[in-house]
Amino acid sequence: MLFDKLNIQYTKDPPEVDEEALEEIYQDPKERVVKLSEAKAQALLEKYKGQDVLIVGSDSQNLRQGISYGKPKTKEEAFTMIKAASNGRDTQISGWCVINAKTGQQWSGYDELHFDYLKMEDNAIWEYINNPINKTFKCSGGFDIGSSFYLRHCGRVEGSHGMFHAIPMEKIIPILQENGFEI
């Protein structure tokens, strides 16, 4: 987990949020990821209210040729999503929200990361999809930027380095420090 690298104590506590309902309300991808991040953090606020903790919520969306891609549900859908990236550009938009459960103070925003991809052969895509160690169905757009498939097919990256972990840590770390975390 990313917070392990910061050497801080944390608890992973996935919130109960109806993401699909919020996705229908917010059509703009930038607004959507911020609102989903805020909803995830707010969903945990009642549980931790008054405690000296920070709640971090995040959400990411992948735009490929102007189309917003979520997580694929089938192998065929994954193939279509990944094939659309061949010789193209992706934009990963990640929203974030931090809430101080003791004071109620909230910070939120989004950042972008752009990927320029090389040509992807059909057989390489299917090989990736069919390999059970890959996170095909857990990642927006169908493939994990930590995979060897990504390493072989990404030609250029532009944007926030922290976004490789789907959350712009250069925005989160100052808030953690401002709230007493030593990093």
pLDDT along the chain (183 residues), means of 10: 82 90 86 95 96 93 83 94 93 93 97 93 96 88 85 91 77 94 87
> pTM value?
0.82
Domain boundaries, the chain: 19-178
CATH of 19-178, one of 3.30.460.20, 3.90.950.10, 3.40.50.2300, 3.40.50.300: 3.90.950.10
Residue of 168, 161, 134, 157 lying closest to 59 (CA atoms): 168
- SS3 for 126? helix
> How far is residue 93's CA from residue 166's CA, in Å, rounded to a whole number?
8
Order the strands of the 106-117 sheet from edge to edge: 67-69, 54-64, 89-100, 106-117, 154-159
